């Protein structure tokens, strides 16, 4: 049974976007031969299958396509895990269904003749798979829609580029890699040029896919860059975030170099994912500009729920290596006007009034992050939480409550959170708690290079 959804026949917005009819026309002329049916997994990676374009139109578009349900219960290594309610060896590791969302159709500008369509994950009887990241965000957007509100957002992603190919980096054990820049190139135009033609190919590939690029800039770590995309409706933003990471990796592969979105690659600055978000009414008018009390409550909710929801912003062991003082990654649960030492930074005037949540690294799942921000904001609004004074100086040393500094601490706060269970449901909380427990167990069983170097002859 197919879930209710748009037929995708509305006009596509922007070069690179496709309606179903436009896809049919381009398939008929041979311009498009393949459609990727993709969905985000727990790690925020684009998973799925490549379909012949004719098969996609004739069979998959209306009926969906099956995929093994273990795809939402594996670790980073794609190994099936136990302890998940939705999938297990005991249940036979059967299929769920990937139902195309036609409104997400677009060409992929960096692959010739290929289009992509995002899918929503459902059980064969049409019920949504609750722990699916796209479904988690959809539920929070529905909560906004019940009030006549929408969320607009943008994610700022940083990544580090090395001249070594992915295969060469693997063979080196990811040691002694050559970054595309040898010094801090933050805002350096020459520094961005050093990474060309990669940066240019990424920007042009995204633009050809209907993903509007606003800026590209160098960052502080060696070989580090940031590309910013146009502010958009929250679900589209999450989809584009996933496609952006996919594009960077595929274009890097094509270019014989490599790129990483690890939250913390080395002792220098980590890769962040700052999230800008605002609410609007059904007419598109900013709620934050016209209702200061509501804006304050939304920010207060971020602060009140930050410890409980940190797991959704920092899902991996490595995520917590970012949280160091004076690193531009937040350690203090505080807010301020244009203050980069705070976890929440308030920016803009009038219609551009928004908040920037600076907690997440580039390893985030964007659907979970946006869902967490919305849920925390609604918690603040529904409970009329009072906003503490803005931090006007250095939040790192101002004595504020701290974010969890380990995955274990964040997991404990998340699983015990009545707010998270009320907003997302027990199934979702238990599912992502289990994923974190597996990540912790995998790490605890591994002997690191640091341990061997430190202890081989000295302990």
Contact 202, 248 (CB under 8 A): yes
Mean pLDDT across 28-33: 97
Closest C-alpha to 42, from 84, 5, 92, 11:
84
Q: What are phi and psi of 52, to 5 degrees?
A: -60, 140
Mean pLDDT across 118-140: 97
What is the pLDDT confidence band of residue 88, given thresholds at 50, 70 and 90? Answer: confident
SS3 call for 313: helix
pTM across the whole model: 0.95
Question: CA-based diameter of the chain, in Å?
Answer: 69
Return d(Cα 289, Cα 141) in angstroms, integer. Answer: 20
Look at residue 9 in the predicted model and tell me its pLDDT. Answer: 34
Mean pLDDT across 369-382: 98
Beta pairing partners, 158:
226
Q: Tell me which H or E stretch contains 45.
A: none
Length, in residues, of the chain = 459
Q: How far is CA 67 from CA 25, 304, 388, in A?
A: 28, 38, 47
pLDDT tens across 259-318, in order?
Answer: 999 999 999 999 999 999 999 999 999 999 978 999 999 999 999 999 999 999 999 999
pLDDT tens across 149-176, in order?
Answer: 999 999 999 999 999 999 999 999 999 9
Contact 223, 181 (CB under 8 A): yes
Q: What are phi and psi of 214, to 5 degrees?
A: -95, -50
For residue 141, the tally of other CB atoms under 10 A from its CB is: 18
Torsion angle defined by CA atoms of residues 13, 14, 16 and 17, in that order, rounded to the nearest 10 degrees: -10
Contact 391, 341 (CB under 8 A): yes
Instruction: Inform me whether the pLDDT recorded for 435 exceeds 60.
Output: yes
Instruction: Inform me whether the pLDDT recorded for 2 exceeds 90.
Output: no
Return d(Cα 293, Cα 192) in angstroms, integer. Answer: 41
What is the pLDDT confidence band of residue 11, given thresholds at 50, 70 and 90? Answer: very low
Look at residue 290 in the predicted model and tell me its pLDDT. Answer: 79
- Residue located via tokens 């070594």: 164
pLDDT tens across 182-217, in order?
Answer: 999 999 999 999 999 999 999 999 999 999 999 999
For residue 324, the tally of other CB atoms under 10 A from its CB is: 16
């Amino acid at each position: 049974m197919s879930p209710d959804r748009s037929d995708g026949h509305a006009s596509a917005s922007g070069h690179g976007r496709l309606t179903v009819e436009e896809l049919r026309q381009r398939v008929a002329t041979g311009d498009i031969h393949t459609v990727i049916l993709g969905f985000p997994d727990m790690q925020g990676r684009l998973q799925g299958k490549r379909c012949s374009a004719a098969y996609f139109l004739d069979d998959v578009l209306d009926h969906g396509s099956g995929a093994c349900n273990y795809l939402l219960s594996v670790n980073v290594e794609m190994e099936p895990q136990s302890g998940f309610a939705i999938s297990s060896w005991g249940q036979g590791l059967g299929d769920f269904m990937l139902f195309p969302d036609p409104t997400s159709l677009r060409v992929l500008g960096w692959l010739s003749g290929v289009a992509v369509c995002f899918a929503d994950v459902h059980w064969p009887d049409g019920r949504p798979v609750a722990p699916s990241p796209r479904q988690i965000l959809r539920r929070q957007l529905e909560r906004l829609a019940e009030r006549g509100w929408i969320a607009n957002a943008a994610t700022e992603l940083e990544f580090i580029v090395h001249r070594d190919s992915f295969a060469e980096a693997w063979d080196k054990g990811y040691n002694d890699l050559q970054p595309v820049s040898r010094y801090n190139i933050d805002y350096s135009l020459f520094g961005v040029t050093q990474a060309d033609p990669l940066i240019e190919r990424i920007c042009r590939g995204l633009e050809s896919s209907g993903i509007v690029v606003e800026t590209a800039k160098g960052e502080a770590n060696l070989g580090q860059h940031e590309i910013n995309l146009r502010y958009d409706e929250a679900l589209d933003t999450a989809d584009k975030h996933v496609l952006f990471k996919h594009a960077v990796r595929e274009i890097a592969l094509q270019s014989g170099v490599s790129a990483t979105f690890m939250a913390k690659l080395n002792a220098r600055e980590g890769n962040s994912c700052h999230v800008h978000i605002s609410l609007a009414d059904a007419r598109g008018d900013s709620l934050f500009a016209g209702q200061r009390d509501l804006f304050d409550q939304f920010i207060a909710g971020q602060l009140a729920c930050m410890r409980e929801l940190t797991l959704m912003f920092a899902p991996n062991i490595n995520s917590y290596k970012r949280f160091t003082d004076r690193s531009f990654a937040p350690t203090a649960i505080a807010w301020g006007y244009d203050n980069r030492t705070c976890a929440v930074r308030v920016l803009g005037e009038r219609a551009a009034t928004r908040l920037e949540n600076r907690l997440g690294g580039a390893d985030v799942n964007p659907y979970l992050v946006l869902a967490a921000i919305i849920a925390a904001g609604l918690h603040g609004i529904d409970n009329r939480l009072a906003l503490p004074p803005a931090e006007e100086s250095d939040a790192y040393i101002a004595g504020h409550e701290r974010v969890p500094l380990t995955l274990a601490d964040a997991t404990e706060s998340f699983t015990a959170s009545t707010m998270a269970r009320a907003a997302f449901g027990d199934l979702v909380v238990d599912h992502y708690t289990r994923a974190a427990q597996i990540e912790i167990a995998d790490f605890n069983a591994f002997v690191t290079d640091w341990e061997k170097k430190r202890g081989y002859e000295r302990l």
